[in-house]
Structure 1
Amino acid sequence: MSTATEIYYDPYDFDIDQDPYPVWKRMREEQPLYYNERYDFYALSRYADVEAASVDWQSYTSAKGILMEMVKAGLPTPPGLFIAEDPPEHDMHRLILSRAVTPRRVQVLEERIRELCAEYLDPLVGSGGFDLVQDFAGHLPMRVIGALVGIPDEYLVSLRDRVEESARLTEEKPQEEQRLPSIGAPYAPFLEFRRANPADDFLTTLIQARFTDVFTGEERGLSDAEILNYVGMLYAAGVETTARLIGWLGKVLAEHPDQRAQVVADRSLVPNAVEETLRFEVPSPIQIRVAAKPVELYGQRVEEGKIVTLLTGSANRDERAFPGADTFDIHRKIDAHLTFGKGVHYCFGAALARIEGRIALEELLNRFPHWDVDLSGAELIHTATIRGYHRLPIVL
């Protein structure tokens, strides 16, 4: 008979990462507040707990770091990296971003997204099969973010590969040896170019932004470091997570061909198919927080300074929130899920991710109403926060 003491969860264990759902289920039932002694962190796995911690930034701070390595190293938050800030600094930087990434700009991208889908998918028609990630999903989000930010296409592939490689965990490069990249450094040449050549894009808006500093009360512009970290954050988050979402759409719908056929026949089902995929397979299933003060949970005391991981991927499979949670159902009524977080740190790019996922699925189905996945050639990418496919061959 299994006992609670036998539960072991480790976000850096590749075997667990292949299919974390069984251990997450046991954690929800037996140890809703789990402690990992090796890496000295706690984990919350139930929907209600992850939701509550997500909105309670006063108790669970993001300001100590967004990666476990960042917290343990005691590294300061890079300026402008607002996902690793709390109010009021977070609100100040997020407001600036909201002025740069406007709903109008996002909507204008719709036509461009369809053009890009055609550019990548049309040559694959009649091919008999292709790699959904390497040939499509890994390219589309970087081109979309590139268009939004103002980065020329010829630089995008090398940037994507550099971002992906910096985040990747390998057996030869375990967690203890990770080094955090300078998230904004690769974009410095584009900043200088845009200063000399303003345009209607994200980078130009940031260069021209003026705001009142919440600490000094003075009006100022963004520093180069703040601008570059804004861009790096938007690129890394927007490209990696959306690429994994499209990969999951391909895999999950291949595993449920009856439901895929329903979507093919009725395109009004596409948005909810995307939403259910976001719930069912979370591209970023682990979020890091630090206890800002002692908290009591399930009869245990979590001391100030301890790392608390919010397992959004587990929360979205909690039967308490979603009956039949381990079943994929494109007709599921989803009032809310935690894939994009909640509260002040709700994912800024959620709307764009949904638009990209919807259009990508529509355009895939327009050309390929049926496909199977060749799992023998599939490869999950292992990072500290992202879960999804690096390679996903499909057979038409």
Structure 2
Amino acid sequence: MPLYYNEKYDFYAVTRFADCERGLPDWRTFSSSRGDILEIIQSGYEIPSGTLIFEDPPIHDVHRRLLSRVFTPRRIGMLEPQVRNFCTAVLDPLAGADRFDLIEAVGAEMPMRVIGMLLGIPEADQPAIRDMADEALRTEDGQKMRFKGAESLTNEAFADYIDWRRDHPSNDLMTDLLNAEFEDENGRTRTLTRDEVLTYVNVVSNAGNETTGRLIGWIGAVLARHPEQRHELVDDPSLIRNAIEEILRYEPTGHSIARYVTRDVQFHGETVPAGSALLFIVGSANRDHRRHTDPDRFDLHRDIGQQLTFGLGGHYCLGAALARLEGRIAMEEILKRFPTWEVDWDNARLGQTSTVRGWETLPLIVG
């Protein structure tokens, strides 16, 4: 069914690669200004300024350019030694163990630590901030996400750090955001307000935390199910970069992207009316046989080309390079120490959210 309508929850969905490729860059028809999560779009909540993932041009472009200036490839690349040191610190003590939970050891910890490094959040405070962000995404069986307006989008715990960092500048993203001058949508050159910095910090933190942790879980699960290919990666680590790309295609951490439909639009001879919410099911599009040969097969040698896990167009994920870096280093360091493992599937548990997909617990049996 290329166009789907869910009567109970009142949304449309498209699943083919070509439909996602056509729609995601078309912000005039498929707007982000009301959110990119179904529950937020349907809430009618007015998104605060600066939440660039929930904005359309031209204001989106102003805010994205500013974040791009401080969230640079060079800054991300400089994190590699710290990310590797973290992996070493958590994995070395597990040597000799016959089992451990990959999510508890790495997946739930590393993204939080990396975001903390970027923002300059004290290490002792990072777990509490992560847990507050994660809780906002949780759902219950058969239920939608409980969207609570600003409370679901903004972690006020960052406010105190912003105030402290204003008086104690450092070499971190928060300091750069506080000091960056830019030309706003009114043509005025200025710096960000405190509330705008708070919004930016929340965007960076929320976007980079949960999704990257899920990627690490999928590394453990997918390679357990494909031991022959895992053996190839152990023998030839140069294959790891493409293996990460294939895992992102094969088991995307974000399965769908929502948009608000601004005008009547046709898909496959049917009309999606203006005012609707529409989901682009990128998890399905990544496995479209019209795009990829034998798409339900995991193949670390696949020539992937374009995949949609990080979106497409103006809202392509700014943190994609960081997620790839974390995933690559995690895979390298895990395979160095644990070339073989099985998953205790009876005790593995998927997380329950409406925005990301992956493992809440993933016990590995090693050795």
Pairwise TM-score range, normalised by the shorter structure? over 0.9
Q: Which residue does the alignment assign to 1:392?
A: 362
Q: CA-to-partner distance for each residue in 1:209-262, whole Å, 9 max, x for gaps?
A: 111111x22112112221111111111111111100010011000000000000
> Is the CA contact (8 Å cut-off) linking 2:139 and 2:145 kept in structure 1?
no
Which whole-Å CA distance do the structure 1 matches of 2:281 and 2:195 have between them?
31
Q: Which residue does the alignment assign to 2:300?
A: 330
Q: Which residue does the alignment assign to 1:8?
A: none
> Is the CA contact (8 Å cut-off) linking 1:271 and 1:358 kept in structure 2?
yes
State the Cα distance separating 1:166 from its structure 2 match. 1.3
Which whole-Å CA distance do the structure 1 matches of 2:334 and 2:209 have between them?
19
Q: Which residue does the alignment assign to 1:16?
A: none
Is structure 2 residue 240 aligned with structure 1 residue 253? no
Q: Which residue does the alignment assign to 2:181?
A: 210
Q: Give the AA of the match of 1:266.
A: D
Which whole-Å CA distance do the structure 1 matches of 2:34 and 2:135 have between them?
24
Listed as ranges, the matches of 1:158-307 within 5 Å are: 158-171=128-141, 174-175=143-144, 177-180=146-149, 181-214=152-185, 216-307=186-277
Q: CA-to-partner distance for each residue in 1:103-152, whole Å, 9 max, x for gaps?
A: 11111100001000011111111111100001111101110111011111
Q: Which residue does the alignment assign to 1:14?
A: none
State the Cα distance separating 1:342 from its structure 2 match. 0.8
Listed as ranges, the matches of 1:78-93 within 5 Å are: 78-93=48-63
Q: TM-score when scaled to structure 1?
A: 0.90
Q: Flag structure 2 segments of 5+ consecutive residues without an equivalent.
A: none
Q: Of 106, 115, 120, which residue of structure 1 is paired with 2:85?
A: 115
Q: Give the AA of the match of 2:167.
A: A
> Is the CA contact (8 Å cut-off) linking 1:184 and 1:231 kept in structure 2?
no
> Is the CA contact (8 Å cut-off) linking 2:215 and 2:248 kept in structure 1?
yes
Q: CA-to-partner distance for each residue in 1:24-60, whole Å, 9 max, x for gaps?
A: xxxxxxx111000111110010001011111111111
Which whole-Å CA distance do the structure 1 matches of 2:304 and 2:36 have between them?
27
State the Cα distance separating 1:174 from its structure 2 match. 2.8
Q: Give the AA of the match of 1:179.
A: K
Change (3 A) 1:231 1:252: same
Which whole-Å CA distance do the structure 2 matches of 1:109 and 1:310 have between them?
32
Q: CA-to-partner distance for each residue in 1:47-79, whole Å, 9 max, x for gaps?
A: 010111111111111111122121111111122
> Is the CA contact (8 Å cut-off) linking 2:33 and 2:54 kept in structure 1?
yes
Change (3 A) 1:251 1:263: same
> Is the CA contact (8 Å cut-off) linking 2:138 and 2:145 kept in structure 1?
no
> Is the CA contact (8 Å cut-off) linking 2:25 and 2:312 kept in structure 1?
yes
Which whole-Å CA distance do the structure 2 matches of 1:249 and 1:175 have between them?
27
Q: Secondary structure at the match of 2:132?
A: helix
Q: Give the AA of the match of 1:192.
A: D
Q: Give the AA of the match of 1:43.
A: A
Which whole-Å CA distance do the structure 2 matches of 1:220 and 1:305 have between them?
35
Q: Which residue does the alignment assign to 1:17?
A: none
CA RMSD, Structure 1 to Structure 2 (Å): 1.2
Which whole-Å CA distance do the structure 2 matches of 1:199 and 1:282 have between them?
35
State the Cα distance separating 1:321 from its structure 2 match. 0.5
> Is the CA contact (8 Å cut-off) linking 2:145 and 2:354 kept in structure 1?
no
Q: Give the AA of the match of 1:333.
A: D
State the Cα distance separating 1:184 from its structure 2 match. 3.8
> Is the CA contact (8 Å cut-off) linking 1:79 and 1:225 kept in structure 2?
no
Q: Give the AA of the match of 1:237.
A: A
Which whole-Å CA distance do the structure 1 matches of 2:39 and 2:5 have between them?
17
Q: Give aligned-pair identity as a percent.
A: 45
State the Cα distance separating 1:88 from its structure 2 match. 0.7
State the Cα distance separating 1:178 from its structure 2 match. 3.8
Which whole-Å CA distance do the structure 2 matches of 1:297 and 1:240 have between them?
32
Aligned residue-pair number: 364
> Is the CA contact (8 Å cut-off) linking 2:181 and 2:189 kept in structure 1?
yes
Q: Which residue does the alignment assign to 1:25?
A: none
Q: Give the AA of the match of 1:155.
A: D
> Is the CA contact (8 Å cut-off) linking 2:139 and 2:146 kept in structure 1?
no
Which whole-Å CA distance do the structure 1 matches of 2:55 and 2:147 have between them?
22
Q: CA-to-partner distance for each residue in 1:6-33, whole Å, 9 max, x for gaps?
A: xxxxxxxxxxxxxxxxxxxxxxxxx111
Q: Give the AA of the match of 2:109.
A: H
Listed as ranges, the matches of 1:121-132 within 5 Å are: 121-132=91-102
Which whole-Å CA distance do the structure 1 matches of 2:226 and 2:154 have between them?
38
Q: Which residue does the alignment assign to 2:4?
A: 34
Q: CA-to-partner distance for each residue in 1:182-232, whole Å, 9 max, x for gaps?
A: 424221111011011000110000000111111x22112112221111111
Q: CA-to-partner distance for each residue in 1:137-185, whole Å, 9 max, x for gaps?
A: 11011101110111111111111111111111023x9327442414242
Which whole-Å CA distance do the structure 2 matches of 1:319 and 1:64 have between them?
32
> Is the CA contact (8 Å cut-off) linking 1:140 and 1:243 kept in structure 2?
yes
Q: TM-score when scaled to structure 2?
A: 0.97
> Is the CA contact (8 Å cut-off) linking 1:145 and 1:235 kept in structure 2?
yes
Which whole-Å CA distance do the structure 2 matches of 1:256 and 1:250 have between them?
10
Q: Which residue does the alignment assign to 1:139?
A: 109
Which whole-Å CA distance do the structure 1 matches of 2:251 and 2:87 have between them?
23
Which whole-Å CA distance do the structure 2 matches of 1:193 and 1:268 have between them?
43
Q: Give the AA of the match of 2:129.
A: L
